[in-house]
Amino acid sequence: MRPLRLARFTAGGLLALSGGAAVAASWYDGAHRERLLPGVVVGRVEAGGHRAADVVRTLDHRLPAVAATPVRIVAGSEEARVTLAELGLRSNAAEIVARARADADEMGLARRVWHRLLAKPVDLRYDVRLAVERSAVEREVARLAEVVAVAPVDARIDTSSGMVSILAPEPGRALDTATAVEQVHDLAVRVANGDGPAGPAEVRPPVTALEPAVTGFADVILVRTAENKLYHYENGALARTYRVATGTARYPTPKGTFSVVLKRRNPTWVNPDPGGWGRSLPARIGPGPGNPLGTRAMNLDSPGIRIHGTSNVASLGTAASHGCIRMALADVEELFEKVEQGTPVTIIQGPPPPPEPAPANPAVPQTPVTAIGDPDAPVDLEAG
């Protein structure tokens, strides 16, 4: 055989052998792909040569051992006990083993086969950690937050006795859920991985005090229509009592709790019922002696109802208005300066006026006194 033909034959044989080796190496690598490379350590487990699925099962076998571990959450006087299982305990073993396989793929075929055929260990170590589900932690914290939560109670005006008493405000409380979630999640992860405290696993998230929006009342106005009196309270104590006129049976003063929404000096009277009882009256009357609202008016958040002055002092102490609360001019001017817009006004029926005392000497006939109104007083035009 000529040398040239011999060289060609030899080269072809070597190529054939090389190609066959590559095919064999590829087949060998594929057949062992499910097994981790020699020397791989996953979570302190010698995983080299073992199937990936078997390694994951081995690592996850420790979950039941710690799943029942309790975590105690103390929030003020309330507490909850939850286990790591209830917090969604899980392992990242599957992700770590998948990473080990991906790292082996990046080595290339020749290196993988070399490590496998010659049992040459690789220096690859992976840490496996246990974790809990944040959504599960949030759910358990939310349950405790509902138990902890107490809404604050504002100071209140109580008229059950017929007079005013101020019920003290009461603070509320709320669990700081954002802090609680972080604390519980951090502790649960540390306990699951053996890094927790030596004693019971416990967290004490902060409980926030909730202050009431209303802590007191600088002024309160009480109107008792049955006796036609207005009581002014300052800081919960009765400061002054005034005689007033309230609504007639046909136009009663509304009962309930209202507030002063507008204060007016020298107000303009606007006909509140031009199609009804005010049809014969002017549309408006400006400030001055003939104004039926007097010199001061305080509108309430009840349509058409005001506390205002009147020069018709003979009507005070009676049910004479179209629903408003009338006061003597000097009295309404005094009250006007003391109370602010927003002052609560409570209107109740109240007890009936006490009976007139018996005459001192029944034998002497008592001459009734008839109240005579001011002849110069304006016509009763007002809405109240």
Please give the helix or strand (H or E) that residue 106 lies within, else none: helix 93-107
- In the set 115, 185, 322, 324, the catalytic residue is 324
Measured distance CA(8)–CA(31) in Å, rounded: 35
Beta bridge partner(s), residue 296: 265
Question: CA 134, 136, 140: angle at the middle one, nearest 5?
Answer: 115
Nearest to 307 by CA among 244, 353, 255: 244
- In the set 115, 185, 232, 308, the catalytic residue is 308
Dihedral angle of Cα 62, 65, 68, 73, to the nearest 10 degrees: -70
Active site residue 308: yes
Active site residue 32: no
Measured distance CA(293)–CA(383) in Å, rounded: 9
Residue 119 DSSP SS3: coil
Measured distance CA(69)–CA(123) in Å, rounded: 34
Measured distance CA(305)–CA(223) in Å, rounded: 13
**Residue 336 CB-density burial (10 A; 0-12 exposed, 13-18 middle, 19+ buried):** buried
Residues assigned a catalytic role: 308, 324
